[in-house]
């Protein structure tokens, strides 16, 4: 793989991908996510810009790089004392892009180290699903049901896609107040910002969170403060800003594209996990096909 998506973004003016390219990448990512959900029954749980890697635009890039490293500028490496195997340092700078071949660069979902397989008796379906309970997801991308200690499923990844779409289209984070002054995750301010953007959470979701307060994990988990916690409410310390309108947060799109993008992310960033569209449904959205 050539480089993370965020490095590719830096190559463009204002670090913003051209809209047709951004839409194409979102379609590809949704297709991959649909396969993971429908066929593999896997929730990735860690979707973020760092975990979207771009393929090489040309095979010549890698072969030329290897030739350069073996002649002029050898890469740093070390030798494993036990196996004798040579281990080269990780590298993501392969020089300038061949812009003529840019269309051949494709995004790939990587890093399945935190992924979870959810079993179900209905193969190929993502609505008939079992659920996970443990804390998941990067801070900026964490879904509300996870913060509230509710069960989560494939739709948690869809929330990630909605936030990731904001990163790709707007080149900024949607949620700006998820950490405190010590850079620790703050679920209360994160939820407050969700409420500022999307309105209060549905009563059904709050009732589910309340019901899960009596639930205990099989083993306690230590949270960021070092406290051993028995459930999601303890882990996130029982969480519940100036109001913001979602449409006012978009600065890079004209009216027609803005409305289409708002419609798209609203179907991914729904409070209720059941209300979020699946990856295959989002692939059909007019914003990505207009």
CATH code assigned at 109: 1.10.510.10
Answer yes or no: do 50 and 173 share one domain.
yes
**Domain boundary pick from 47, 72, 96:** 96
Answer yes or no: do 199 and 246 share one domain.
yes
How sure is the predictor about 120, in pLDDT bands with cuts at 50, 70 and 90?
A: low
Q: How many domains does the chain have?
A: 2
Answer yes or no: do 176 and 251 share one domain.
yes
Strands annotated E in 69-150: 77-79, 86-88, 107-109, 116-117
Answer yes or no: do 86 and 172 share one domain.
no
Q: Whole-model pTM above 0.85? A: no
Q: What percent of the chain has pLDDT over 70?
A: 92
- Asked if pLDDT for residue 106 goes beyond 60, the answer is yes
Answer yes or no: do 198 and 139 share one domain.
yes
**Domain boundary pick from 96, 119, 152:** 96
Strands annotated E in the chain: 3-4, 42-43, 52-54, 77-79, 86-88, 107-109, 116-117, 221-222, 228-229
Q: How far is CA 17 from CA 12, 20, 159, 216, in A?
A: 6, 8, 21, 44
Calculate mean pLDDT across residues 85-111: 81
Smallest CA-to-CA distance from 163 within 73, 48, 284, 15 is with 48
Contact by Cβ (8 Å): 290, 263: no
pLDDT the model gives residue 241: 57
pLDDT the model gives residue 91: 67
- Asked if pLDDT for residue 123 goes beyond 70, the answer is no
- Asked if pLDDT for residue 185 goes beyond 60, the answer is yes
- Asked if pLDDT for residue 122 goes beyond 50, the answer is no
Q: 32 is written with which tokens?
A: 């991959």
Q: Which residue has the tokens 């890093």?
A: 111
Strands 116-117 and 221-222: unpaired
59 or 16, which is more confident: 16
Answer yes or no: do 13 and 65 share one domain.
no
- Asked if pLDDT for residue 192 goes beyond 80, the answer is yes
Answer yes or no: do 123 and 240 share one domain.
yes
**Domain boundary pick from 75, 96, 117:** 96
How sure is the predictor about 128, in pLDDT bands with cuts at 50, 70 and 90?
A: low
Q: What percent of the chain has pLDDT over 90?
A: 59
Range of the domain at 30: 3-57+97-288
Answer yes or no: do 41 and 90 share one domain.
no
Q: Exposed, middle or buried: residue 60 (CB in 10 Å: 0-12, 13-18, 19+)?
A: exposed
Smallest CA-to-CA distance from 223 within 210, 232, 215, 214 is with 232
pLDDT the model gives residue 212: 87
Answer yes or no: do 118 and 190 share one domain.
yes
Contact by Cβ (8 Å): 116, 132: yes
Answer yes or no: do 191 and 258 share one domain.
yes
Calculate mean pLDDT across residues 268-281: 95
Answer yes or no: do 89 and 8 share one domain.
no
pLDDT digits (tens, 9 = 90+) for 194-251: 999 999 999 899 889 888 888 899 899 999 889 999 999 899 887 765 557 888 888 8
Answer yes or no: do 212 and 73 share one domain.
no
How sure is the predictor about 15, in pLDDT bands with cuts at 50, 70 and 90?
A: confident
């Amino acid at each position: 793989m050539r480089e993370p998506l965020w490095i590719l973004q830096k190559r463009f003016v204002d670090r913003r991908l051209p809209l047709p390219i951004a839409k194409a990448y979102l379609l590809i990512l949704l297709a991959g996510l649909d396969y993971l959900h429908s066929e593999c029954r896997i929730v990735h749980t860690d979707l973020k810009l760092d975990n979207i890697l771009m393929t090489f635009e040309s095979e010549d890039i890698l072969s030329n790089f290897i030739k350069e490293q073996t002649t002029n500028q050898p890469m740093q490496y070390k030798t494993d004392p036990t196996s004798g195997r040579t281990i080269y340092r990780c590298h993501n700078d392969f020089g300038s892009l061949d812009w003529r071949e840019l269309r051949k660069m494709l995004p790939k979902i990587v890093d399945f180290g935190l992924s979870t397989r959810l079993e179900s008796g209905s193969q190929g379906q993502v609505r008939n699903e079992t659920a996970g309970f443990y804390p998941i997801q990067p801070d900026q991308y964490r879904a509300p049901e996870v913060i509230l200690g509710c069960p989560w499923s494939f739709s948690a990844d869809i929330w990630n896609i909605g936030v990731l779409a904001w990163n790709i289209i707007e080149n900024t984070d949607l949620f700006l107040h998820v950490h405190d002054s010590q850079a620790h995750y703050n679920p209360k301010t994160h939820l407050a910002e969700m409420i500022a953007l999307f309105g209060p959470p549905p009563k059904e979701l709050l009732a589910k969170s309340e019901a899960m307060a009596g639930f205990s994990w099989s083993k306690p988990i230590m949270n960021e403060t070092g406290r051993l916690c028995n459930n999601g409410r303890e882990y996130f310390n029982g969480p519940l800003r100036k109001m913001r309108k979602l449409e006012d947060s978009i600065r890079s799109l004209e009216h027609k594209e803005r409305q289409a993008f708002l419609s798209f992310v609203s179907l991914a960033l729904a409070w209720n996990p059941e209300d979020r569209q699946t990856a295959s449904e989002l692939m059909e959205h007019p914003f990505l096909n207009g």
